[in-house]
Amino acid sequence: MTNRMMTIAGCCLLGGMCIAVAEPGVRKVAEGFERPVWAGMPRKMDGKLWVMEQAGRVWVVDLATGKRGELPFLDITANVSRQGNEEGLLGLAFAPDFKTSGRYYVNFTDKAHHTRIVRFTCRNHEVTDTATAEALLTFKQDFQNHNGGWIEFGPDGMLYTGTGDGGSANDPNRHGQSLDTYLGKILRLDVSGEKGYTVPADNPFVGRQDAKPEIWAYGVRNPWRCSFDRKTGDFWMGDVGQNHWEEINFMPHGQGAGANYGWRLREGAVATPQQGVGGEPPAGAIEPVYVYAHGSGNQQGLSVTGGFVYRGPIAELQGRYVFADYQNPRIWSFTLEHGKAADFKDHTQSLQPAGGQLKLIASFAEDNQGNLFIVDHSGTIYQII
C-alpha cells in the first residue's frame, strides 16, 4: 500500500505505550493510460474516477478494482490536435448537477489550433454521444504551446477557465496585459441556461469597448491547474514560468475580479529578465504567494503543477496546499500565513510508489471526500493515503 513509513516512536510515561506516526504514502489506483492529464469526480457520485487522456479520450475507472469501462466515456480524438506537445484535450468540468443533467464541459485544442470550450450531455454517465456537443467559445492560439486548459465551476456556480498567453516566448504579442484577447486570462461564464452562455453581469470588464467581457482576471502566462478550496472557496493557481521562476497565486473567496497577475512584465516575483520585456509591477498587480527557481534541487523545478488545499482524512495534510513540479517530479505543501507560504514541506520521498517512482506529475485530482490523487503523465493514477 504505502511505500515508506517513517515512524516516530516514543514511550509514554503511563504504561510505556509506544505511539507511531506515519507519513502519507500512495496506493496505485489504475495504470495503462496514454498521457493522462486530468482526473476528477462529479458531485454525489462516489466510487469512480474519470481520467482524461491528452489525445482526446476520457475513461471511467472503478476505484475499488482499478478497472475502466469497455468504452471511453468520451472520445473526441478525431477533433483534437496533438501536433504540439501542449495541445490536446486539457480540462473537464462536471456541472454541479451532472448526476441528473448529465452536462459537462471540456477545454481542448482543435485541428485548426483553436481552443474550444464545448458542452456535452451524457445522461447514462457511461458513454457520451458526441452529437450532443455544443461549442460555447472558440478562439485561435498563436502558437502550439501555452494552451492552459483548466476548467472548473466556482463556488458561485459560474464556469471558470484558464487560458495561456498564446505561446512562443516572452508573450511576443503582449496578450497577457491586453484586454482585447481571451489569451493569458482567467475567463468566467454563466452556463446555467439551456443553450450557449451569458456573460455574468458582475464580470469586471462588462461594458468596456476595449475588453472581452468574459475576462475575470488577466496577466497569466500558462495557468496549469487551478482549484477552488472546497472549504473556503479561495482560488489557487499554478502559473508556469519561463526560464527562471515558477509561481503559485492565491485569491481569497469573493475577491479577484479584474486581478492582474503581472505577466509579461513579471516572471514570478521579479521583472521578466528578457531585455525590453520585463518591468515594474502593473498598478495593483497580484504578487505570488510562493515562487521557486528553475533547477533540479529539492526545492527547484521547471514546470509547476498546481494542486489543491487538502481537505481529506489525513490529519498531517489538513489545510495544506499540495502542489508539484512536472519535470522535476517533486511534491510539496505549505500553509498560508499573512498572504505568504509558510511551513513548507517536501513530501516527495514518502509519496514514491512501491517498487517505482513518480515520473511526470501532470495533475492532481480530488474526490468528494477531499482525498487527493496524483496523475502521472506516464500513465498511472495514485491516491494519497
CATH classification of the domain holding 283: 2.120.10.30
3-class state of residue 131 by DSSP: helix
For 223, the grid coordinates are 495557468
3 has a pLDDT exceeding 70: no
20 has a pLDDT exceeding 70: no
pLDDT tier, 36 (very low <50, low <70, confident <90, very high otherwise)? very high
Q: What is the mean pLDDT of residues 376-380?
A: 98
Q: Is there a contact between 220 and 252 (Cβ–Cβ < 8 Å)?
A: no
Determine the Cα–Cα distance for residues 111 and 323; give it in Å rounded to an integer: 31
pTM above 0.75, yes or no: yes
Determine the Cα–Cα distance for residues 385 and 380; give it in Å rounded to an integer: 16
**Domain contains 131:** yes
**Domain contains 153:** yes
**Domain contains 210:** yes
For 149, the grid coordinates are 486548459
**Domain contains 379:** yes
Q: In the chain, what is the straight-line distance between the N-terminal and C-terminal CA atoms, in Å?
A: 9
Burial of residue 22, with CB atoms counted within 10 A of its CB: 0-12 exposed, 13-18 middle, 19 or more buried: middle
Determine the Cα–Cα distance for residues 50 and 93; give it in Å rounded to an integer: 11
For 71, the grid coordinates are 468504452
Burial of residue 35, with CB atoms counted within 10 A of its CB: 0-12 exposed, 13-18 middle, 19 or more buried: middle
**Domain contains 16:** no
Determine the Cα–Cα distance for residues 363 and 118; give it in Å rounded to an integer: 21
**Span 248-290, pLDDT tens digits:** 999 999 999 999 999 999 999 999 999 999 999 999 999 999 9
Handedness of CA 30, 123, 91, 24 (dihedral sign): negative
**Domain contains 39:** yes
Domain total in the chain: 1
| Strand order, beta sheet including 159-162 | 151-153, 159-162, 185-189, 215-218
**Domain contains 302:** yes
Domain with 316 in it: 26-384
Q: Is there a contact between 119 and 134 (Cβ–Cβ < 8 Å)?
A: yes
Q: Is there a contact between 45 and 367 (Cβ–Cβ < 8 Å)?
A: no
Percent of the chain scoring above 70 in pLDDT: 95
Inter-CA distances, 98 with 52, 75, 102, 229, 343, Å: 17, 19, 4, 20, 37
Residue 22's pLDDT is 74
Determine the Cα–Cα distance for residues 113 and 280; give it in Å rounded to an integer: 33
Residue 114's pLDDT is 98
**Domain contains 368:** yes
